[in-house]
Structure 1
């Protein structure tokens, strides 16, 4: 056991367990913080197996992970639990779909996220960063919850790059519907653990169903209004998606397919980036030396202005802080798959129907692959080529790697650099966040920091 001094210098972490629980205990814990079902030994072993209602395996071996995410992708689709949780909100979109239905959507959407398109959208990120720093400055010397601030900022970005110009898009209605769904319907049901089919009612999802229907109606109206109006100025994500077609079949997305994918981009594109930024702010407040170095870098590049897309490549330490935040607090801290065929991973038999989990949180803190895995050390990303791509998976990997990864990283660098160039942040004593994952790994209790002009 590390001594008290060692614990004090490490950022907050999830207390992993030293025992295997039964189904009822696992269900209770999963509804509160799903990462707490991960055993501590997962940070020092390559595979851990057990049975909780059905056979399961947690895989932390890079070769086995490559086999699942690349070589035998179709044999390891997303689990029923994942699909049942998210389908009511985002339908059979890119995140949910499998096989041919996924492939044509991916081919259609991939050109949307080219570097050129992302650079064209960067001014929206810069403007959102300016507004965020003004809100923090206007708050004065009191403590600010940077989780709420980053959620507001990234939702501004995703709303503007998705539905620019209004088009009857009710931002507040969509934002509240997403929050309601995540908080109520996202909690794992006993039916999910047991693998019950989607038609078995889940009470939380029944309660949130109207909010989801309202959100989809709002998005449908916005898409139809845009189709009638046509593009205006720099193409946003909706314009680009409406113009997109599958290069193989020539198929284009209809209104419901565009809506489900746009809602996927909105949910993923603001929630995960907001969390990455909130955790990054917590970490630089935790380590003032890193913060001072990052501020010096940002001020040298930016002077008094906000960061732009052209600045991103000139801010390597800012990017390393974001990479390290994604390592310590990956938004998707645990990913679940269902084996569709017999296989062998790490010398262990995998049977058709087994649940195979990738506990990204444990992988990123594995003693086998990382020096001082629980420490905040952005410099470990100074040489990205030295890191095995299958031991660092904040965006997944293989053909299903997150389609918006470059968008998210560009946005995060722009916002973090702007914020650190203008403020010195310090933690509020006694208000450390608690890492809790239901659908995403959030800082429970918020990220409370004081901010003073730099």
Structure 2
């Protein structure tokens, strides 16, 4: 056999993976512990794994070079996949779920809102919102549900920085998005085998949530149409300017707004929840954060230029996203046959890059389960595609700069002025939905630091 024949034969070979007799165990993990499903198989079978569950086969990719191939080098061959397809029922064809020319047009419309210069001009707004949050937390006598507070903060920041609108009156948003995530993941793990008309509690909650999200999006558009902003640079203004005013245009605006509301608040809120948990588990990190915030900020609010000075705080955010990436799964569907790592991947296959396992790859991370922000202050860093908290390639997260600034400002001001501790007995576990969130919330007690002072926003 010639060398070319040998390579052709190898390229038709399926990757290794669990045997068919493991189907029941895999199904159980798919329903109850998706992180273990990905992690156990990557550890057992290597960097390309074929996981067959019933009629479906999923290809797990767990190496920087291979992630680069799927997300960047051959991105045109990979459309959005499992989970995001199911979420389309609520999100429509927004930026998160669309593909092809539709996605490119949407990206061009919204991209200017996220330009670095514009985001830097929003720093004062973000700092003011964070300052108000810190004051609310300091006023609590008993335990506070920190994830609820982070959701309120991130929605408020999103409204003022990206939409030029107040979202404080839409208290149902967070609950509605939870229902959307629950239903999308339920459909994904059941392979959409349960008809949508079946009146399960989960499905009824989803329908209510979908209607609520559409109502809120329509109200936001109507408010802006009634009160246009001359030369407006926000998302609402740009969507209205790009539309034709017909029914299809109105539906696209709704889809984009619902997507932005979900993606714009959920990922940052989840990151902050994990950050407070990890800082509580590692008090020495909290003390270093406090010392840096006092040194850099004194008693004032942070500014955009402080992101270059709050180096340890930035490193903490980066390490939190390494261990608990808010987007833990990057699902794709192969449009044509491909070769990944020397293995054949047929057209139509579900291909998943999993930042959660990639961020723990022992070849690229020393003692990968350990929380160590110093990894991100060291001179030598891992390969680019070994760390993907915001994805990569053409679909790199459009809001990464705003999300990092918001998280850094929250941790800096919270560490300077407060101490937060989990309530006794609280067990913190991850829940892998569309985002990687803390299961069941995160109640914490809040203790103002002695001598903490702040200037008014």
TM range (shorter): 0.7 to 0.9
The structural deviation recorded for 1:22 is 4.8
User: What is aligned with 2:50?
Assistant: 49
State whether structure 2 residue 210 is matched by structure 1 residue 212: yes
TM-score, normalised to structure 1, is 0.85
* Matched-pair contact (CA < 8 Å) for 1:231–1:239: yes
Question: Partners in 2 of 1:268 and 1:134 — Cα distance?
Answer: 26
Moved more, 371-380 or 201-210: 201-210
Structure 1 pair 419–47 and aligned structure 2 pair: CA distance change class (3 A): same
Question: Partners in 2 of 1:341 and 1:351 — Cα distance?
Answer: 7
In angstroms, what is the RMSD of aligned CA positions?
Answer: 2.8
User: What is aligned with 2:70?
Assistant: 68
* Matched-pair contact (CA < 8 Å) for 1:43–1:368: no
Structure 1 pair 366–94 and aligned structure 2 pair: CA distance change class (3 A): same
Question: Partners in 2 of 1:126 and 1:435 — Cα distance?
Answer: 29
1:288-303 to 2 correspondences below 5 Å: 288-303=283-298
Structure 1 pair 366–230 and aligned structure 2 pair: CA distance change class (3 A): same
User: What is aligned with 1:12?
Assistant: none
User: What is aligned with 2:150?
Assistant: 150
Structure 1 pair 86–225 and aligned structure 2 pair: CA distance change class (3 A): same
Alignment equivalent of 1:338, drawn from 329, 333, 340? 333
* Matched-pair contact (CA < 8 Å) for 2:57–2:349: yes
State the structure with more CA Rg: 2
Structure 1 pair 304–73 and aligned structure 2 pair: CA distance change class (3 A): same
Moved more, 125-134 or 45-54: 45-54
* Matched-pair contact (CA < 8 Å) for 1:129–1:306: no
Alignment equivalent of 1:221, drawn from 211, 219, 222? 219
Structure 1 pair 218–408 and aligned structure 2 pair: CA distance change class (3 A): same
* Matched-pair contact (CA < 8 Å) for 1:56–1:357: yes
Structure 1 pair 321–234 and aligned structure 2 pair: CA distance change class (3 A): farther
Question: Partners in 2 of 1:57 and 1:290 — Cα distance?
Answer: 37
* Matched-pair contact (CA < 8 Å) for 2:64–2:358: no
Question: Partners in 2 of 1:370 and 1:21 — Cα distance?
Answer: 33
User: What is aligned with 1:6?
Assistant: none
The structural deviation recorded for 1:244 is 5.9
Structure 2 unpaired stretches of 5+: 1-17, 450-457
* Matched-pair contact (CA < 8 Å) for 2:109–2:238: no
Moved more, 295-304 or 438-447: 438-447
Question: Partners in 2 of 1:385 and 1:162 — Cα distance?
Answer: 35
The structural deviation recorded for 1:165 is 4.5
1:307-346 to 2 correspondences below 5 Å: 307-346=302-341
1:410-429 to 2 correspondences below 5 Å: 410-429=405-424
Aligned residues: 425
Structure 1 pair 201–27 and aligned structure 2 pair: CA distance change class (3 A): farther
Question: Partners in 2 of 1:218 and 1:428 — Cα distance?
Answer: 34
User: What is aligned with 2:31?
Assistant: 31
Question: Partners in 2 of 1:134 and 1:371 — Cα distance?
Answer: 39
SS of the aligned residue for 1:452 comes to strand
